[in-house]
Structure 1
Amino acid sequence: MMHSPRLADLLIVFPTFHKRIGVVEASRSWRQGVRTHVVVDDMVPLDALRAAGARHNETFSALPDLPGMPTSLRHVMAPLLAHTAHGGRYKWMLLGDDDTLFSLPAVLGLLREMRLPHTEPLAVSDFLVHCRHEASAKPGTPGAKRYTAPVTRDPRCPAAPAASATGARDAPPTPPCILSPQSTQPPRFRPHPDCPPEGRTSFYGGAGVILSHGLMQRLARHNLHAQPVLASEAAASAAGATDASFYAVAMSTYSLAGDTLMSEAWRRAGFSFTAPPPLPYELPQHSSTQRQPCAGGSGAPPAPQCRRFGSLVGFNDEASPEVMVHRHRLAAEVSPEAFRRVVSAHLRQRKANMTSYLAAMRELGALIAGASTGTGGLI
C-alpha cells in the first residue's frame, strides 16, 4: 500500500538575497514550521539566520553572486544544495521563488490524489510556459520569441485522470512524464537555444513546482563528464553537446532564467512535467460567476482556468500585492471548496514598499493556510 504523504515528508526550498531577507519571516505564515531550506547570498549574517531559524525548522546555505553568472544561479542550485544539506531525508520538495506561497494541505491532498511514488523522478506542475521562435515576415530582420502561458500540460506528456468532485482517492495513479530519447537531444537553435522554432516548455518559477526525491537523487548522481583541458573548438563543442548533467546545463549559457535552466536540465535527463488533475471546475472570482466544469473526455490539456498551481495568478502578473490578496480572499469566500485545492500563489512586490509587501505576504499566507484546512489540515 502506498504511503500517504505527510507534512514530515515535505521540504520547502527557495532562494533569496540580502535585500529581500524579510521574506523568510513573512513566509512563515504559510510554512508554519515545516522543514525549509533557504539559499541566500553572502551579504547576510548566516550564523544569525541559522540561530533565528532553528526554532522554525529552517536551514540555510549561502551562494554568492559569481562573476559572469546570472543571479538566477541561486535558484538553479537551490534544489541540489537543499538535497545535500538534508541528506536526501525527505520525499517531496516544494520549490518556488521567494515570492511563491504554497498551500501545504492542498499539496498533500494533491499528492494523495495523484498517488505518485516519491522514488520515481517526477516534477509536478500545471503552470507551464511554452516559448517558440517565430521567423520574421520581413527578409533580413530577426524573428522573435513568442510565449504562451499558462499551459497546463506538456503535449508530450500523458493526461492526468480527471479530478472528482469529492477528490476520491481510489482513482488510478497519475502516469509520470518520461520523455523519449528524441525529446532529450541537445539544443540546436543557436540564436535562442531556450526558444527554438519547434518550441520549448518550462515551468513558471513563481507558481512553483513539486519535485520528487527520486528526481533529485537522479540529478545528484548524474556526474559531470570529464572534459579535456585543451581541445579543439569542435572537440569541445562535441563534448559539451553530449554532457547532459545537471551541472553542465546549470553553468551553461542556455538561459538567464532559473526556471528555464532547470527545466532544460530535467529535459536533458529525460523528464518533463507530470500534470496534476485539473480542478473540478473553474475557480470563480465573483459571486455572480457560474461554475464551469473542468473535467472533459477529449484528452486535450485542461483550460488554463482549471490549473492547480497559481490558479489565481497570471504569467508575470502585474497586479499589486493588495489586489492579489483581495483576489484570493474573494475566491475563498465565493468558492471555499475549490479554493482549498489551489496549490500555490505568486505574490510579486511590484511597486509596493517592503513593509507593505511583507504585510501582504503574511496576510495571504495566513489566508491560504487557514482556508486549506478542509483538505486534511496541517497533520
Structure 2
Amino acid sequence: MHFGIFGVGDIARDPLSGHTPSEHERIKALTEYAQLAEEVGLDVFAIGEHHNRPFVPSSPTTLLGYIAARTSRILLSTSTTLITTNDPVKIAEDYAMLQHLADGRVDLMMGRGNTGPVYPWFGKDIRDGIPLAVENYALLHKLWREDVVDWEGKFRTPLQSFTSTPRPLDGIPPFVWHASIRSPEIAEQAAYYGDGFFHNNIFWPKEHVQQLVGLYRRRFEHYGHGPADQATVGLAAQLYIGKTSQDAMNEFRPFFDNSQAYGGGPSLEETKERTAVVVGSPQEVIERVLAYKELAGGAYQRQLFNVDGIGVPRATVLRQIELLGEVLPVLRKEFAADRPAHVPDAPTHASLKAAAQDTRTEETAR
C-alpha cells in the first residue's frame, strides 16, 4: 500500500494572515513538502500539471527532476499529466528522461484536464477530450514498448520509423494511472491496458466513487488481467489533522469557507459527511481512511492526501505532513492486517522489472 501527498500547485490567499504567496514562494514550498514527505516515511509525492492561473506547476517533469536530486527514496508522480493537450511523443521522452534521473522512482497519472480555455492554447478542442485521451495514450503506450514506431491517427501528424529517446529505464515503462472523476470511458481505458485507475474522490459522494471503481474492476477482469480484486486502484482525500476533532474543524474551516473549490457550497460538516474531506483528530482520520476500503471495493494500492492549497500556509502544510507521518504506522498496520495475499502491492519500477524478468525466464523455459 502506497501512502503519499499530492497537490495542484494553486496560489490562494491565506484568509487568516491575508498573505498570498508569490509564484516563487509556492514553487519552492512544493520542493520542501516533497522532501519532508520522504523524511516522515511517505511513499509518494505527486504534483499536477496546469497551464492557467492561479496554478504554478506548468512543467511537472522540471519540478520532479529537481526533487529527484534532493531525495533518495520517495516515488515521484503526477496528480495530472495532460494526455489531451500534450504531444504523446513529448510525454514519452520527458518522463523516460525523468525516470532515468530518478533511478526508476517515477510513475504518472494521466488526466484530461477540466479547464476549457487550456485546450485551444495547445491547438485542441475540449469537445475532443475523450477521443484525444484514447488516441494519445494508445500512441504513448506504443512509443514506450516498441523501439521503432509507425503511427497514423486523427489528432497528430503520422510517424514513420520513429524512436523516442531515451528509451525507458531497463526497458520498463513508467507505470500509468488513468485518473477520472466522472468518465466511464477512462475507467474502461485503464482496464483495457491493465493499468491503474485513480479516482480523485474529494468532491464526490461514495456512491459515485463505488460505481466508477466497480466498473474498472469488472472490466479489468473482462480483459483477462486477473480477478477484479487484483486491479490497481488509487483514491484521494483532502486532509486536515488536529489535536481533537473540534480543533481540526475550527482550524480548517476558514480555508474551506474561503476557497474557490469549496466556499459557497455545502457546509464543512456536510461535505465531510458525504465526500473524502477528512478533517479530525488522529484517531478519527485513521478510522475514516480505513473505511475507504469500502469505496475501493476491497483492498487497494494507493492513498494520496491533499494537505496543500486553498490558502493553507507553508508552516501549516509542513506540520500536516509531520502529523500524517505520525499516523502512518497505524494506517500501514491496519491496511496490511486484512489484505488478501493474492492482491498485489502498488507497482514500482523494481516490481515491474522483476515481473518482466520472470516472464522472460518462463518464455525461455518453454
Same-fold status (TM-score > 0.5): no
Q: TM-score when scaled to structure 2?
A: 0.35
More helix by share: 2
